A and B are shown apart, each in its own frame.
Chain A
Amino acid sequence: MSDDEIKAMVLRELGKIAPEVESEIDPATDLREQIDLDSMDMLNLMIAIHETTGVDIPESDYPQLATLGGCVSYLRTRIK
């Protein structure tokens, strides 16, 4: 999957979790602050990514996926 495809996938999942958010997502800022996600939302995001890409993300890696950019770079190497 190309970077853009990964980004699109993450944004689609984020859209399901926080449908109310319309504004552009800045890839560099922490998602929690940007669109007011709580731990339940983050967990759901992780689960959604796992279910769509098969990648299992250990709890210790959660901080690397705190931003959109982080997600893309984390998944780039793990998606088969």
Chain B
Amino acid sequence: MSADVTPPNRTTYREAMRQAIREALLRDPRVFLMGEDVGRYGGCYAVSKGLLEEFGPERIRDTPLSESAFVGAGIGAALGGMRPIVEIMTVNFSLLALDQIVNNAATILHMSGGQFNIPLVIRMTTGAGRQLAAQHSHSLEGWYAHIPGIKILTPATLEDARGMLWTALQDPDPVLIFEHGTLYNLEGELPADASAVAIDKAAVRRPGDDVSLITYGGTLGKALQAEELSAKGIDAEVVDLRTLRPLDTATILNSVTRTHRAVIVDEGWRSGSISAEISARIMEGAFYELDAPVERVCSAEVPMPYAKHMEEAALPHVHTIVETVSLMMGDRG
């Protein structure tokens, strides 16, 4: 590596994820990519475009539409000594493989008394915002974060899209990576030598003193755009969770202990969501630091409507974040 820092280059979240997969395939012969239309079609979100031509059909394997079988096969191959990356097209189809993920991937290590671990990575797209209506717009990463035995990552930045995969592949246990559909076209700078990042800690993307905005994945951008807050003299700290399991409780409590207020932004439905869990942990760990009850900005509890204005109304937005925070801060004149 040259002594000086290699110049950052313009790239996208999608490109960063493709580089991550490509790097893993080059570095470790045990790594292979398996999923619906990942080969000839180049990936439903074009993340794996060009990989079939470079690595061949043995390591870039298109699968039949049999989520339970190919996710189960991924688990078996991991048991058999491989390092599979299984791509489920979207979280919506992962429901068909829920049994394999919950009853096999997350549980075999425990049932076998520690004999068999499953070094498997499953990637899937999540979230709404592109008028795909109810069946194609779910945001269920919060569900998966309920399950002991697996880890849940939500990369929201280019560094994380580029750096999380390799660390996940080294993990001896199953890691699920949720990529929000609206992030693929996110542009930004990324140093050419960008590489693996840690996957067990949250990150403070914007320090602040008055309120902790806690969020992840597709809603991080919205939290960072809440400029009106600074216009109103409210100094918001934005915490990017990066991992929903394990949840980085220490960073959350540290932030809330300083700001004494918390607003959690979560695209999931409010009832039984990851935001509910975070709110409970803040209540348990920082009750005496709170100057106001924890607030949550979540999706409306409705199957995602098709019409644009309706979908917009259902989803958490910058203005909902600003209103919630302003209300919480009381009239600051």
**Direct touch of chains A and B (CB < 8 A):** no
Residues of B within 8 A of A (CB): none
Residues of A within 8 A of B (CB): none
